[in-house]
């Protein structure tokens, strides 16, 4: 027996590799759609808030309520609640594709709030200067707000990606596959502690990698 087999007697490394691929696919897919939905939602929240460019206090309150409700439902409950929607969109209720729908709906409102907060950090004077130069609201969003908030938006993306890693692991419990599923199936139900150890270690590595990529990008794009 090789030393690896001594240390981790139960582990099927091919299965671990497949689980890693599944986790990365779920993470990548859900992060992509979270950004695509969450960024405009965050911009919308920012613009409609009191005292902002397109202040619509009632609309803001409604959007805010939806975001808060989605954020306050525990992810594991959200997954179950969303099974009909998931089936309608993807045709399946489990697996990688099936997991992406609840992952996005769980993470997009969270990301939108972070986007709103990042945009609020943009100096009001810069926005006023752009208005004084005759910029339209669309120009202010795309050429002033988003570029000026770039470092904050990257940091928000990192936080969201890390949160999604946790969500994907939970998704594993209801059959989404990936590292979380392995940890639960073999590590917990099958009582194979080496599986638990390896999957958790891989999740830790994944989070570390995401965080350091994010931190590097933030440093690179900080011009203050």
Q: Which residues bind another protein (CB under 8 A)?
A: 123, 125-126, 128-136, 139, 143-144, 147-148, 150, 221, 223-224
Distance CA 50, CA 56 (A): 7
Give the count of alpha carbons within 13 A of 90, CB side only: 16
How many C-beta atoms lie closer than 10 Å to residue 97's C-beta? Answer: 17
Residue 63 and residue 48 in contact, taking contact as beta carbons nearer than 8 Å = yes
Q: Which is nearer to another protein, 151 or 179 (CB)?
A: 151
| Cβ within 8 Å of residue 54, ≥6 positions away | 47, 48, 137
| Cβ within 8 Å of residue 207, ≥6 positions away | 162, 165
Provide the terminal-to-terminal Cα distance of the chain, rounded to the nearest Å: 57
Q: Which is nearer to another protein, 69 or 129 (CB)?
A: 129
C-alpha distance from residue 159 to each of 170, 208, 224 (Å): 17, 12, 21
Output the smallest distance, CB 168 to another protein, in A. 32
Output the smallest distance, CB 43 to another protein, in A. 17
Output the smallest distance, CB 142 to another protein, in A. 11
Output the smallest distance, CB 91 to another protein, in A. 43
Q: Which is nearer to another protein, 58 or 224 (CB)?
A: 224
Per-residue tokens: 76:
């594991």
Output the smallest distance, CB 138 to another protein, in A. 11
Q: Which is nearer to another protein, 128 or 215 (CB)?
A: 128
Q: Which is nearer to another protein, 5 or 222 (CB)?
A: 222
Output the smallest distance, CB 200 to another protein, in A. 39
Q: Which is nearer to another protein, 64 or 131 (CB)?
A: 131
Distance CA 100, CA 9 (A): 33
């Amino acid at each position: 027996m090789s030393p690896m087999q001594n240390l981790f007697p139960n582990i099927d490394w091919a299965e671990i590799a497949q689980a890693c691929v599944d986790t990365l696919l779920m993470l990548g897919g859900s992060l992509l759609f979270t950004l695509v939905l969450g960024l405009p939602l965050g911009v919308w929240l920012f613009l409609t808030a009191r005292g902002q460019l397109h202040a619509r206090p009632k609309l803001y309150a409604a959007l805010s309520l939806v975001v808060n409700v989605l954020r306050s439902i525990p992810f594991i409950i959200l997954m179950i609640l969303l099974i009909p929607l998931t089936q309608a969109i993807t045709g399946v209720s489990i697996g990688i594709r099936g997991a992406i729908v609840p992952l996005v709906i769980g993470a997009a409102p969270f990301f939108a709030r972070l986007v709103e907060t990042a945009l609020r950090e943009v100096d009001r004077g810069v926005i006023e200067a752009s208005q004084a130069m005759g910029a339209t609201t669309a120009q202010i969003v795309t050429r002033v707000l988003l570029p000026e908030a770039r470092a904050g938006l990257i940091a928000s993306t990192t936080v969201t990606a890390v949160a999604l890693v946790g969500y994907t692991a939970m998704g594993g419990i209801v059959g989404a596959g990936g590292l979380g599923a392995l940890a639960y199936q073999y590590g917990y139900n099958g009582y194979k502690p080496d599986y638990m150890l390896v999957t958790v270690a891989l999740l830790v590595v994944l989070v570390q990698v995401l965080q350091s990529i994010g931190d590097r990008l933030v440093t690179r794009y900080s011009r203050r």
